[in-house]
Amino acid sequence: MSALAPVVDTRQAARPSTYAGPSTPPSPYLELSVPVAVEHYRSLAAALPGTAVHYAVKANPEPALLRALHEAGSSFDVASPAEVLAALAAGAAPDELVYSNPVKRRSDIAFAARHGVRLFVVDSPEETVKVAAAAPGSAVLCRLVTSGEGSDWPLSRKYGCSTGEAVRILVAAAALGLEPAGVSFHVGSQQRDPEAWGPPIAAAARVFDELRAEGLRPWLLDLGGGFPARLADDGAAGCPPLAEYGAAIDRHLTRAFGPTGPDRPRTLVEPGRGIVAEAGLLHSRVLAVIDRGGTRWVFLDAGVFTGLVETIEEAIRYPVTTSRDRDGGPRVPCVLAGPTCDSADVLYEQAMVHLPADLAEGDWVRLESAGAYTSCYSTVGFNGFPPLPTLLRA
Amino acid sequence: MSALAPVVDTRQAARPSTYAGPSTPPSPYLELSVPVAVEHYRSLAAALPGTAVHYAVKANPEPALLRALHEAGSSFDVASPAEVLAALAAGAAPDELVYSNPVKRRSDIAFAARHGVRLFVVDSPEETVKVAAAAPGSAVLCRLVTSGEGSDWPLSRKYGCSTGEAVRILVAAAALGLEPAGVSFHVGSQQRDPEAWGPPIAAAARVFDELRAEGLRPWLLDLGGGFPARLADDGAAGCPPLAEYGAAIDRHLTRAFGPTGPDRPRTLVEPGRGIVAEAGLLHSRVLAVIDRGGTRWVFLDAGVFTGLVETIEEAIRYPVTTSRDRDGGPRVPCVLAGPTCDSADVLYEQAMVHLPADLAEGDWVRLESAGAYTSCYSTVGFNGFPPLPTLLRA
């Protein structure tokens, strides 16, 4: 490989700092309220008494957010060396981290172990062997597959194994010198049905029973994330309140493991969207309002490549407000599109958004519940449009 | 907005420079051969004699690539202030640029005009008014809508107007003091059918006729991009050779505008993928090979969020080679997945990839024809995985 020149960072050339003047505020940008995220953390912790809350750093790794969540008592869910460092930099102790990525680079496992992380998720014999080699003696959770039913962004295909496989993996883990801590699962992101936790909790209890029959002592159940944010397609009733999620989960835990006692595992959750989504407001401005054969297209300066990846297939529907909103003003259906030349840079077309009839170039369009999976999903600057910046609300 | 703190760049915290040791080579990375891209430029220019080639910077804005293409005689297709600066920094003169984004921020138009750009694409009356105000006296091309048929990544929905609208827009442009230069269209990215240029060239000729009847003198036809790269699903015959594209385009131009003479417009093309895709080889390593209920999953350290966005819906199928390839070795169908915890980070699942049966952790997997729409599509570091770096092959 000596013929290769040093790494060239194309972003430096594509986004020279000279062209964007010091406009205040810039556009687009993500306005992030750390106190609102902390409030969501506290609500979730209150709805799940006795369950440790591990904020999923991937949803939004903003350092000020991580620090505030740590100070409020949150632990962290991490999935890469950079996320380990971000959590530690926020003040977390290594034993407050769960490394939840079920398939990891071997050197990344070793990196985490060197930094004191000792709880890893696996979902295959191959990965268990890797963890045993790279982080000897650490604790493992085995991830179960779930259906993803009821969620807007299902997770079912890529990760997880059956209960039978989980038993074999955790027994093998013990033989490899690892601590078979228990089981994890994930019911899918933006999960609208609190009862979705029932089947995987019951499945986890079967794994725990079989492990105990093998003489092992599992003690930890990772209930995953999936707690929803308020979105545009919630319907009149909205998503169920967090208390309903807490009650459903407690009921299913009691049914599966008993109300108290040594058989009831310690529990943790890994919320990302449920904590940070509603703390974020994505501000963008209208580039143009154009009639395309009778359909009104509103072009924004934010799009799929500046963070709005979750609009692909129109999966996540952000509530939209504008600087032209007023009571009783007429609204018309609009397609929302982003600023790049890419045809995929269209936010909502199948189900159009109803916006003020007098919306015009330069007006602000704001996407609510946009604090999760936006700034972190932004491209490095596709088509010369800079990544979505974050501004902190005091 | 004074309550907002200064812009916080979350990428700095998410990707501290301390964790990634100076490994050589890193993984994943894009190996880019500038000479191969220049060779593709020359082939395309030779296949289209008399047509100006404007490389589409969005496909890959690597500075060394832009410099070499400029030196070889290429002009540029740009769509944002950053791309204007990148093209100028490569040595291009402002009149070698076409600003092809049909919907632009008003201040971006003015920025380009200040830097000497004077050819802009529009596709609506609204945008024409903006260009007249922000870049007075400049030349405009009006983009026609096309069907996108025959392409892997069609572009039909978002941009373009009918021939009747184009005539009205260009007549209005003249009245606003702009120069109605002509028409542009785009047949869709990775266009496999050279005949796809026929209908829009004929449509452009109708627009030219009507403009002349109005006393205007259009002179430029932008034939767009769409020239294909070699991909895995080309079939036994592969895509047609460039000469066939050139011959088909010339035949359609002759049919629509005559063989020579004052009615035949000057022409330009805007290739991106056709120039740079085959110059790029994306190197990644296997994190794990895992059996998921009888299906073999190969997890790579490159994925949708490190540049492989065009695998969404499995639209673009990169040819795959591995460090285990050998003649006659057994191959098995595999799902290819990326390294992040995101369920969307799966490259090929519906149509699996046949890989060596003994492929194992640490082996190299290489995606060919990956020089376009990869490094520029990379996220800022989702889940803590750094953007795809580029290494230049000497």
Mean pLDDT over B172-176 rounds to 98
Tell me the three state secondary structure of residue B335.
strand
Measured between alpha carbons, how far is B214 from B236 in angstroms, rounded to an integer?
49
Of A80, A301, A344, the CB nearest to B383: A80
Mean pLDDT over A186-200 rounds to 92
Task: Kindly tell me the number of DSSP H helices and DSSP E strands found in chain B.
Answer: 10, 18
Beta-strand pair A189-191/A151-153? antiparallel
Which tens digits make up the pLDDT trace of A279-329?
Answer: 999 999 999 999 988 899 999 999 999 999 999 888 899 999 999 998 888
Residue type, B98: V
Whether residue B149 is predicted with pLDDT greater than 70 in this model: the reply is: no
Maximum average pLDDT range among B11-15, B128-132, B310-314: B128-132
Whole-model pTM? Answer: 0.92
Looking at every residue in chain B, the average pLDDT score rounds to 91
In a mutational test of the A interface, the residue from B80, B281, B314 whose CB has the highest number of chain A CBs within 10 Å is B80
pLDDT band at B151 (very low <50, low <70, confident <90, very high): low
Lowest mean pLDDT among B53-62, B186-195, B301-310: B186-195
Which tens digits make up the pLDDT trace of A160-185?
Answer: 999 999 999 999 999 999 999 999 99
pLDDT value for B252: 97
Lowest mean pLDDT among A280-294, B7-21, B96-110: B7-21
The residues near B239 (Cβ < 8 Å, ≥ 6 apart) are: B192, B228, B230
Whether residue B13 is predicted with pLDDT greater than 70 in this model: the reply is: no
pLDDT value for A234: 83
CB within 8 Å: B153 and A344: yes
Chain A residues with CB under 8 Å of B148 CB are 343
| CA distances in angstroms from A65 to A42, A61, A392, listed in the order given | 14, 7, 9
Maximum average pLDDT range among B150-164, B304-318, B361-375: B361-375
Residue type, B55: Y
Supply the DSSP symbol for A202. H
Which tens digits make up the pLDDT trace of A333-388?
Answer: 999 999 999 988 999 999 999 999 999 999 999 999 999 999 999 999 999 999 99
Measured between alpha carbons, how far is A324 from A340 in angstroms, rounded to an integer?
24
Chain B residues with CB under 8 Å of A344 CB are 153, 312
- Is there a contact between A224 and A182 (Cβ–Cβ < 8 Å)? no
Which tens digits make up the pLDDT trace of A1-57?
Answer: 333 443 333 333 333 322 333 456 789 999 999 999 999 999 999 999 999 999 999
pLDDT band at B244 (very low <50, low <70, confident <90, very high): very high
pLDDT value for A24: 63
Q: How far is B71 from chain A (nearest CA, A)?
A: 18
- Is there a contact between A118 and A97 (Cβ–Cβ < 8 Å)? no
**Burial of B93 by CB count in 10 Å (0-12 exposed, 13-18 middle, 19+ buried)?**
exposed
pLDDT value for A315: 84
Measured between alpha carbons, how far is A152 from A310 in angstroms, rounded to an integer?
10
In a mutational test of the A interface, the residue from B29, B67, B83, B103 whose CB has the highest number of chain A CBs within 10 Å is B103
Q: How far is B17 from chain A (nearest CA, A)?
A: 9
**Burial of A338 by CB count in 10 Å (0-12 exposed, 13-18 middle, 19+ buried)?**
buried
DSSP string, A323-362: TT--TT--EEEEEEE-SSS-TT-EEEEEEEEEEETT--TT
Chain B residues with CB under 8 Å of A162 CB are 293
What is the CATH code of the structural domain delimited by A34-276?
3.20.20.10
What is the CATH code of the structural domain delimited by A23-29+278-393?
2.40.37.10
CB within 8 Å: A288 and B58: no
Please state which CATH class domain B25-29+278-393 belongs to. mainly beta
pLDDT band at B284 (very low <50, low <70, confident <90, very high): very high
Domain regions of chain A by residue span: 23-29+278-393, 34-276
Chain A residues with CB under 8 Å of B15 CB are 82
Whether residue B15 is predicted with pLDDT greater than 90 in this model: the reply is: no
Which tens digits make up the pLDDT trace of A91-149?
Answer: 999 999 999 999 999 999 999 999 999 999 999 999 999 999 999 999 999 999 987 66
pLDDT value for B20: 37
Residue the block writes with tokens 């194992």: B360
Which tens digits make up the pLDDT trace of B86-95?
Answer: 999 999 999 9
pLDDT band at B328 (very low <50, low <70, confident <90, very high): confident
* Residue B334 among the catalytic residues: no
Whether residue B3 is predicted with pLDDT greater than 60 in this model: the reply is: no
Measured between alpha carbons, how far is B335 from B104 in angstroms, rounded to an integer?
40
pLDDT value for B262: 83
Alpha-helical segments (H) within chain A: 10-14, 34-47, 63-72, 81-89, 106-114, 125-134, 163-175, 198-213, 242-257, 273-276
Query: Six-digit token pair at A144?
Result: 């179960």
pLDDT band at B146 (very low <50, low <70, confident <90, very high): confident
The more confident residue out of B312 and B363 is B363
CB within 8 Å: A159 and B343: yes
Mean pLDDT over B116-132 rounds to 98
Which tens digits make up the pLDDT trace of A229-256?
Answer: 999 888 777 889 999 999 999 999 999 9
